[in-house]
A = this chain, B = another copy of it.
Amino acid sequence: MSDALDASLRLVRAQVALVKRFDTSLSGLHGVSLADFTMLLRLGEAPGGRMRRVDLAEKLGLTASGVTRGLAPLERIGLVMRETDARDGRVAYAALTDTGRERLTDMLATAEQIAAETFAAPLWSKEDIGHLSALLTRLGGTGLPGHGAPPP
C-alpha cells in the first residue's frame, strides 16, 4: 500500500477516535455532541451570533437538511432560536440565544481542555500542532480559512 493511501486510512481512523473523545466529554458535561458544539461555535463566531442556515451548512460541511436536523434539538432546548429575514422570505436565520451563548462558553472551555489533553506535551510540540493543522488545511473541506503565510 502506498504512503498516500496509508495516510488516508489513518486520517479516517484518527478522526473516529478524536470525535469519540470529544463526544464523551461534551455529552457528559453539557449534554451535546461534538457536532452540536461545532454548530454553536460557528454561530458564536458569526456577527450577531446568527447565520443563514444555508451558510452554516457550508461552513460545517453539511447539507442544508443536516443543519435542519442538527439544529432542531438545539432549538428545542433553547440554545438556538429561529429568526426570519424581513427582506427575503425564504431565509431563516439560526441565532444563538443568551442561554446558548452562556452554555457555549462552558462548552468551549471543555473542548479546549480535551484538545489540550489530546495534544499535550511532551508528545506534541507547538510546532507539531501547527504543522498538522497546516497539512489538514491543504486537504480542504472548503469553508474554513487557511492559516498559513499570507500571499507576498
Identical chains bound together, number: 2
Q: Is the CB of B133 within 8 A of A3?
A: yes
Q: Is the CB of B6 within 8 A of A133?
A: yes
Query: Which of B4, B116, B144 contacts A2, CB < 8 Å?
Result: B116
A13, A118, A143: which has the most chain B beta carbons within 10 Å? A13
Chain B residues contacting A11 (CB-CB under 8 Å) are 11, 14-15, 18, 132, 136
Q: Would you call the interface of chain A mostly helix, strand, loop, or mixed?
A: helix
Residue pair A3, B124 in contact (C-beta under 8 Å): no
Name A13-49 residues within 8 Å CB distance of B: 13-19, 22, 34, 38
A86 is an interface residue with CB less than 8 A from chain B: no
Is the C-beta of A77 less than 8 angstroms from some C-beta in chain B? no
Are A10 and B124 in contact, CB atoms less than 8 angstroms apart? no
- Could you tell me the distance between the alpha carbons of A61 and B136 in the complex, rounded to whole angstroms? 21
Query: Is the pair B139, A17 in contact by a Cβ cutoff of 8 Å?
Result: yes
5 residue pairs bridging A and B, Cβ less than 8 Å apart: A4-B112, A4-B124, A5-B112, A8-B114, A12-B38
